[in-house]
Each structure stands twice: as C-alpha cells, then as structure tokens.
Amino acid sequence: MRRLTHSNPAFKRYMQMSQGTRVFVFVEGFETDPYFYGQLCEQVFGTAGCTYEIVGGWRLAQTGGKTVLLDFHRYLATTNSLVHVFQGKFSLALFFLDKDIDDLLHSIVPSDYIVYTEYHSVENYLFVHGDIVKAAAAASSIEERELTAIIGDPEIWRPAQAVLWKDWVTFCVLVQKYGIPHQCSFRLAASTLNTPPDRAADPATVELYRQELEARSGMTPARFRKAYQAVARLVSSIYARKEHDRVFKGNWYLRLLEIAIERTAAGRPYNSHGISNRLQGAVASTVDFSAEWAEHFREPMRGLLARVV
C-alpha cells in the first residue's frame, strides 16, 4: 500500500497549522521507534503536560529513514523553522536518529534538535536493557528455564554473538567507509559470512570475502591492505573496550535469538509463526524505560522542553 507523503514545505505548513502540538518528534522507522521513543517522550513531555506528535520518516517520503529526516532537518534549519512561533506559542522539531557508524565516518550532524543513539541503532537498547530470555519464552511459548539452559546469561550471550560476527562487522564497516560494492552490508538481516549464523565464520570463507572486497575496491593491493588493517584495528579496539554495540547492529541479535529458540525446541513444535515480529515486540515490552540508561534521551528532551514552556 502506498502511503501518503508530504513535501518538506507541505509538512512544515502542517506543523505551523497544528496549534495543539508543541513538539514534533521525528523518528526513522515504524517497527520499533514509535513505541520506544513514545515511552521516553511520555516521561518528559507527557509528564510536563506538553503535547507532542511522533512523526515517522515515511510521512515525508515512502522510503522513510535517516536520509529523509536529515534532509527535512536541513530544510527547517535553513528556513529558521526548527523552532516556530505562532501567536506567542512555541513549537519545535526534535529528531531521534540511529547512530549507525556515523561516528566512525565523521558524519554526525551537530544540532540541539538531533539526538543520536549511543549504540548502532535503537534496537540495540532492546537487547541490552530488555529481558531477552523472558521475551523469547513469551514469543515462542517455550519454557523460560529451557531457554535459559541454551542462552545462559544474556550479559555473556550478547558479546559472544558479536564476537562470532566480528569479521562480518569489519567487512561491513569497510564496505560502507570506502563505498565498495559488495554484499557485506548493515542493511542485511544476518551475516552471509557465518553459516550457520550462531557459529564462527570459516577462515577460508573470511579470506575469500577479503579477496573479493580487494578486487571490487578499485584500490591497489597496498592501499587496500592498509585500509583493511586500519578498519580491523578499529573494530578490534571497540570490541576490546566491550563497546561492540556501537558497531553491531541491534536487529542482528533478533536473528541470533531466533536460532537460540530453534535450538531449544530441538525439532519439537513451538509457536514459530511470525516469530520475528512477536519476538521484537516481546523484548521491547521488557525494557525499563525509567532506568538510568534512558537519561541519554531524557536530558536533551528536558533542555528543549525549557524552550517551549
């Protein structure tokens, strides 16, 4: 179904005409973002009696996403419309964006009206701060104690999965940083290097991928080797500081958790229909949004709130 979209000037006009809304909160996606940021906005804006509207990027373009939102942010900044005053009442625009690897690419856009995730994406927060075993049990209807026997301590499980995909992460960063045409991409739902997904990659396959990347890079062998080694060192340093969630895409945990559920079931029937969608929602429902981690988002919201009240 084709969704109704607005041009930048048209949506700016919509904002100006919506006199009942004080804060327009722009988010990238529709699977996690509205619920996640809605929980946080209610704590700050809702508690203060400040009306807000969460706006998905798909309302500006069919594709939605970060590029669309950054384009609209630029438009509002250029037209001095990030804060709007009408008949003595203030309203403003706030953008919540996935960091992805923008920090590594030095492409973070500095703005009081943009809040980036600390991790690669918003889904990382679900798996870092949610109860993944309880969520997996609820989504699959498998006993929690059985899943615990397979998954173990989630604080150990998560970094262990990220380590298994470390070569994949390195290749994804390399491809994006240097614009190399290759299947290694953060856009994919799972590693094509790790087969099966919850097992370490075969060293021969890793080398094959590396050779393919070199061939497609357009670089000299010496330059490619230097670029590859630099990215590998960077990823290794991030992992060594236990900051893998900066570069490990949150949605990848979803596929790995599905594998853990499949292994727990061990061929027995379980509630597998639509497991991906149910699992993501189940994990989100276990997150404590009042915890200290959420201060990363609440603090800038309070700062902006002071401008409209």
Please report which confidence band the pLDDT of residue 18 belongs to, taking 50, 70 and 90 as the band edges: confident
pLDDT tens for 120-130 read: 999 999 999 99
Specify if 108 maps to a domain: yes
Please report which confidence band the pLDDT of residue 86 belongs to, taking 50, 70 and 90 as the band edges: confident
Q: Which residue's structure tokens are 């993501």? A: 280
104 and 221 share a domain? no
154 and 204 share a domain? yes
> In this predicted structure, what is the pLDDT of residue 53?
97
Specify if 23 maps to a domain: yes
170 and 247 share a domain? yes
* Spatial distance between the Cα atoms of 153 and 8, rounded to a whole number of angstroms: 47
Specify if 3 maps to a domain: no
Please report which confidence band the pLDDT of residue 3 belongs to, taking 50, 70 and 90 as the band edges: low
Strand partners, 25: 54, 94
CATH number for position 90: 3.40.50
Q: Token pair for residue 122?
A: 């918003």
Taking 90 as the threshold, does the pLDDT of residue 19 lie above it? no
140 and 279 share a domain? yes
Helix (H), strand (E), coil (C) string for the chain: CCCCCCCHHHHHHHHHHCCCCCEEEEECCCCCHHHHHHHHHHHHHHCCCCCEEEEEHHHCCCCCHHHHHHHHHHHHHHCCCCEEEECCEEEEEEEEECCCCCCCCCCCCCCCCEEECCCCCHHHHHHHHCCHHHHHHHHHCCCHHHHHHHHCCHHHHHHHHHHHCHHHHHHHHHHHHHCCCCCCCCCCCCCCCCCCCCCCCCHHHHHHHHHHHHHHHCCCHHHHHHHHHHHHHHHHHHHHCCCHHHCCCHHHHHHHHHHHHHHHHCCCCCCCCCHHHHHHHHHHCCCCCCCHHHHHHHHHHHHHHHHHC
118 and 149 share a domain? no
**Greatest distance between any 2 Cα atoms in the chain:** 67
Specify if 1 maps to a domain: no
User: What is the number of structural domains in the chain?
Assistant: 2
> In this predicted structure, what is the pLDDT of residue 17?
86
Specify if 2 maps to a domain: no
Contact 253, 198 (CB under 8 A): no
Strand partners, 23: 52, 92
Residue 34, preceding peptide bond in cis (omega within 30° of 0):
no
User: For 156-191, b where at least 16 C-beta lie within 10 A, e where not — what string?
Assistant: ebbeebbebbbbbbbbbbbbbebebeeebebeeebb
Q: Which residue's structure tokens are 């930048």? A: 8
Backbone angles phi, psi at 64, to 5 degrees: 60, -155
Q: Token pair for residue 43?
A: 């704590």
96 and 167 share a domain? no
81 and 205 share a domain? no
The predicted model gives 105-126 an average pLDDT of 98
Taking 70 as the threshold, does the pLDDT of residue 101 lie above it? yes
The predicted model gives 17-39 an average pLDDT of 93
198 and 169 share a domain? yes
Specify if 80 maps to a domain: yes
Residue 2: half-sphere exposure toward Cβ, Cα within 13 Å: 2
For residues 88 and 303, the model is more confident at: 303
150 and 279 share a domain? yes
The predicted model gives 230-245 an average pLDDT of 98
* Spatial distance between the Cα atoms of 65 and 23, rounded to a whole number of angstroms: 20
27 and 148 share a domain? no
* Spatial distance between the Cα atoms of 226 and 219, rounded to a whole number of angstroms: 10
Q: Which residue's structure tokens are 């893998």? A: 244
157 and 41 share a domain? no
Strand partners, 54: 25
Backbone angles phi, psi at 53, to 5 degrees: -135, 130
Q: Which domain holds residue 171?
A: 131-284
Q: Which residue's structure tokens are 């700062």? A: 303
Taking 90 as the threshold, does the pLDDT of residue 216 lie above it? yes
Distance of CA 275 to the CA centre of its chain: 20
Taking 70 as the threshold, does the pLDDT of residue 2 lie above it? no
137 and 232 share a domain? yes
For residue 254, give the nearest of 140, 115, 102 by alpha carbon.
140
The predicted model gives 58-81 an average pLDDT of 93
Please report which confidence band the pLDDT of residue 79 belongs to, taking 50, 70 and 90 as the band edges: very high
pLDDT tens for 192-215 read: 999 999 999 999 999 999 999 999
